A and B are shown apart, each in its own frame.
Chain A
Amino acid sequence: MSQAQNRFIADHVIGLPRSGIRDFFELVAAMKDVISLGIGEPDFTTPWHIREAAIYALEKGRTHYTSNLGLIELRREISAYVGRNFGLDYNPHNEVLVTVGVSEAMDVALRAVLNPGDKVLYQDPCFVSYHPTVLLAHGVGVAIKTEASSGFTLKADEVKKSWEPGCKVLLINLPCNPTGGVAERDELEEIAKFAVEKDMLVISDEIYAEMTFEGEHVSIGTFPGMRERTIFLHGFSKGWAMTGWRLGYACAPAYLTEAMMKVHQYSMMCASIVAQDAGIEALRNGDDAVKKMRQAYQRRRDLVVRRFNEIGLPCHKPNATFYAFPNITSTGLDSPTFSKRLLEEERVAMVPGTAFGKFGEGFVRCSFATGYDQIVEACNRIERFVNNLK
């Protein structure tokens, strides 16, 4: 872009980095016969009963705006679901905000709480939009390192080490895209204590909670002193395979929900009513479908983790999500080169770890949300690629 054109673009947008995923996507899109382990969404189509509920909603003429907060029936279901599965207690009337995916929830949460220059602690590697969303809200990101040696779990010591004066918000994603990392209960409790001590607000994105294979999912908002300072984010994309519907929600004490609602009502008005009707059906009758998908992901995880380790790319076993995050340093290549050459030489797409933050170097993200036969073939190709490098 020329200097002349740039005069119309906001400074903080000019400074915003292009997503590493987008570059990689363009590379993949130009090729044929690629097996993609680079897709950050379920390979399942939304369960039929949920789709059918949306068709019924359209037939009934449900095509209008909803309340800014979202349909009260949906908020009641969300409140009950979150109580049942996360041990969190939110009033459906003023503590639940339905959003257009968790991405919007994250955006309104950060815009509602950040003043220019406020610092946000966030784990790294993390979902691609975290740091840019902080920047768009005029905040400053401070990365917390998570490491392969501890299965990319979030450690209280690392949070404390990364903290600096001016950190107003702690932004966490557990279980984590791209690493599959979680946090042990005692570590999370320690992190909660630290958040109270430093008077930080915690924004907790728990979109992959339903994809927890082993152990319990623990919500940071359940620890003492946390309810008043936690914004809980969740949505339908992963657990219910509803990515394209764009439906998520934020739960928080009324004063925070009210602040987020102000941003949401002027920018988004409300989430699509058809998606909201589908969401009601998902929460009322979707448990079996979620369980079935989780079982399938677990099988595939066992398969890819075993294969990566056999191939000589050390890989921890993620307790949750449909991502494995193998270490590729033994190949002598950096992450972007590994991904690019694997794609060119063997037609397998895996996103370089660097797309998810500076601490992602040395790793690639493998999404195993794809069919067994594809996974088996992709692993064979990766094995051939790695052997040819030796």
Chain B
Amino acid sequence: MNEVFKLLAEGERLNESQMAEILGLSVEEVEAQLAVLKEKELLLGWIPVLNPEKDDSLAVRAAIEVKITPERDGGFNRLAQRISRFDEVESCYLMSGGYDLLVVVKGSSLHKVASFVSERLSTIEGVLSTATHFMLRAYKEQGYLIEQPAEEKARLDVTP
């Protein structure tokens, strides 16, 4: 695994020039390693983490439990991939337990999410049932705490 990947895996939020500085590489070398990671699909891409409490474009999100019929060749894959392709679907996972797919759907209104579920998702051949859970409030998003008091950094300037 390349050095940039290890650094990314440590979870620090760094830009390319910071990564270059830390690893003792040139920015070009960091870019080259990132390109390799993307090519190998180890790194899928970058997205900003928006605050769902403040961002109107994410006004409504729902977690949907979906039961589907597995198929002889490929099991759940074909249907899961088909569902994943909708723009409304933020993420989609095959789950163990009482249902098969957990689908996170986002939309600008309750109505839009509801109609996506009833008209698109549940009408797909092979989808047996759906249970929709609307998200009411976010407390933590992708590792970021939301609207919680910041931790005090009360270190003295110089200590032994």
Which A positions have Cβ atoms within 8 angstroms of B?
19, 21, 24-25, 28-29, 34, 36, 38-41, 43, 45, 127-129, 177, 292, 295-296, 299-300, 302-303, 306, 349, 351, 355, 372-373, 376
Contacts and interface: CB of A to CB of B under 8 A. Distances in A.
Nearest to B9: A295
Contacts of B18: 372-373, 376
A310 to B, nearest CB: 10
Contacts of A34: 157
Interface residues of B, number: 16
A103 to B, nearest CB: 9
Please name the 9 residue pairs, one residue from A and one from B, whose CB atoms are nearest each other, closest first: A38-B158, A25-B158, A128-B160, A28-B157, A40-B159, A40-B160, A36-B157, A21-B160, A28-B158
Given A295-B10, A299-B7, A299-B22, A29 B159 contact: no
B157 A127 contact: no
Contacts, number: 62
B73 interface: no
Given A29-B157, A349-B158, 14 more contacts: A21-B158, A25-B158, A25-B159, A29-B158, A34-B157, A38-B157, A45-B153, A127-B160, A129-B160, A177-B160, A296-B10, A303-B24, A349-B157, A372-B22
A7 B18 CA distance: 58
Interface in B59-92: none
B156 interface: yes
A21 B10 contact: no
A376 B157 contact: no
Nearest to B14: A372
Interface string B126-155: 000000000000000000000000010101
Interface in B13-29: 14, 18, 21-22, 24
A18 to B, nearest CB: 13
A235 B110 CA distance: 54
B39 interface: no
B12 interface: yes
B160 A36 contact: no
Given A299-B7, A303-B22, A306-B24, A372 B12 contact: yes
